[in-house]
């Protein structure tokens, strides 16, 4: 990527939705519960195209990450996001699914699409990439195939479980997706295993969760997220005015270490992961425009950052959260950099012990722990699976510009035992 014809840039104007908890007070439907994944992705694409200087008629392809088919229209995925985002019917779209790494994967696939040139449209040289996820996963009915459906199940409506025949059962798709049969462990238990291998204590996990919330709260209060978030307006009901969602909703203003210490272990007896030091379950989406640097110049589009390194790696699924470590090593190698060159890191915080294990190994690479998640991350802000990597990419790019820094790292752990990473260079 040494010359402009082979250098891929992210254009200025990338936007994301706020991240909204799937439930309010763990009881009421979340603020974005009404939106399918395609709707959230469409919001992000439209906002990005509205804020990016390049004409949307120059967009030739869309690549969007999504982890799970959670809604009726999810099968259309990226294509649905593209038309909801205002792109023409003749713009093709691809959905990529590398579980939690899907948002980062969309950037990598978009780069490969451009650089390979096999299907690249020279007349429409820019791509929209990103990710979206509604975590409003449904309950699925099992044991019904071949049986009479009856009145309890409607084709496009609710279900009355009292009317299900004997042998039928309901299962929560969200919980099903968080168990890895290859590891014989749920995702949280793989993080507990990492905690044991690295000797991480409950106190360290709580302190890290507290740091995430404090950093995120400070960033929100300083309005550091404002340039990347496109507010979402929710129509009022019952004569109430419209409500505008401007910020990520999970940040806790009144959190304390004392309160966190009183939370019970959520996944294992004697475990260290609690509701306070694990990632929040939220809905959200992000998008950005990619192109060659020389195309950006010729169309007078302002680049925000250059992607200079990509790494994808695999590891033992029983410690799936360690995946960012080998992925980051590969990305640094591709970029020709050392860990000490990195100025800002966005490491997804799936669980506190998972993040802390990675941070220890990052330290061995020369990456300063203080550079990691200075604005908080998934514990405070949430983890909408297929969207998170894209969200962190634009968060990192804007932070580099705002702070006058040069190199940033975005890296994700991935269920099943993988990790991926991007290294970006500030061009502002």
Residues annotated as catalytic (active site), given as ranges = 100, 413
DSSP 241-285: PPEEE-S-S---TT--HHHHHTSPPSSSTT-S--TTSB---EEEE
Cα gap 381→310, rounded to integer Å = 25
The three-point CA angle 247-134-209 to 5° equals 55
Question: What SS3 state is found at 1?
Answer: coil
Give the torsion through C-alpha atoms of 98, 393, 59, 114, to 10 deg.
-70
Nearest to 99 by CA among 389, 400, 395: 389
Asked if residue 371 lies in contact with residue 345, where contact means CB atoms within 8 angstroms, the answer is yes
Cα gap 106→126, rounded to integer Å = 14
Nearest to 81 by CA among 19, 10, 129: 129
Nearest to 55 by CA among 124, 8, 111, 130: 124
Question: What SS3 state is found at 356?
Answer: helix
Bridge partners (DSSP) listed for residue 282? 21
Cα gap 424→406, rounded to integer Å = 8
Asked if residue 282 lies in contact with residue 174, where contact means CB atoms within 8 angstroms, the answer is no
Give the torsion through C-alpha atoms of 390, 349, 409, 219, to 10 deg.
80
Asked if residue 424 lies in contact with residue 337, where contact means CB atoms within 8 angstroms, the answer is no
- 3-state helix/strand/coil string of 336-353: CCCHHHCCEEEECCCEHH
């Amino acid at each position: 990527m040494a010359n402009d014809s082979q250098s891929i840039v992210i254009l200025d104007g990338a936007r994301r939705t706020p991240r909204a908890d799937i439930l309010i007070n763990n009881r009421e439907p979340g603020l974005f519960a009404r939106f399918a994944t395609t709707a959230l992705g469409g919001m992000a694409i439209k906002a990005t195209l509205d804020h990016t200087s390049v004409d949307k008629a120059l967009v030739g392809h869309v690549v969007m990450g999504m982890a799970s088919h959670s809604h009726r229209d999810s099968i259309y995925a990226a294509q649905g996001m593209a038309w909801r985002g205002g792109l023409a019917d003749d713009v093709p779209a691809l959905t990529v699914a590398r579980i939690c790494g899907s948002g980062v994967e969309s950037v990598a696939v978009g780069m490969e699409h451009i650089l390979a040139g096999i299907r690249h449209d020279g007349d429409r040289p820019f791509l929209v990439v990103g990710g979206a996820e509604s975590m409003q996963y449904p309950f699925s009915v099992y044991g019904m195939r071949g049986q009479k459906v009856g009145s309890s199940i409607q084709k496009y409506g609710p279900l009355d479980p009292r009317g299900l025949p004997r042998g039928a059962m309901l299962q929560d798709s969200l919980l099903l997706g968080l168990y890895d049969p290859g590891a014989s462990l749920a995702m949280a238990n793989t993080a507990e295993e990492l905690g044991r291998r690295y000797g991480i204590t409950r106190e360290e996990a709580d302190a890290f969760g507290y740091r995430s919330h404090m950093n995120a709260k400070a960033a929100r209060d300083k309005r550091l997220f404002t340039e990347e978030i496109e507010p979402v307006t929710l129509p009022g009901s019952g004569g109430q005015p419209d409500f505008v969602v401007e910020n990520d909703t999970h940040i806790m203003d009144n959190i304390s270490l004392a309160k966190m210490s009183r939370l019970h272990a959520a996944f294992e007896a004697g475990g260290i992961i609690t509701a306070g030091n694990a990632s929040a379950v939220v809905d959200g989406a992000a998008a950005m425009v990619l192109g060659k640097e020389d195309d950006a110049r010729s169309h007078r589009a302002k680049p925000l950052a250059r992607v200079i390194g990509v790494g994808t790696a695999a590891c033992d699924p029983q410690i799936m959260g360690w995946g960012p470590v080998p992925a980051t090593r590969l990305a640094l190698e591709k970029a020709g950099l050392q860990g000490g060159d990195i100025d800002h890191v966005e490491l997804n915080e799936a669980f506190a012990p998972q993040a802390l294990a990675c941070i220890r190994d990052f330290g061995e690479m020369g990456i300063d722990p203080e550079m990691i998640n200075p604005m908080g991350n998934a514990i405070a802000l949430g983890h909408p699976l297929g969207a998170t990597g894209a969200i962190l990419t634009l968060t990192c790019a804007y932070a580099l510009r705002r702070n006058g820094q040069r190199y940033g790292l975005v890296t994700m752990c991935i269920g099943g035992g993988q990790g991926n990473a991007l290294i970006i260079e500030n061009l502002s």
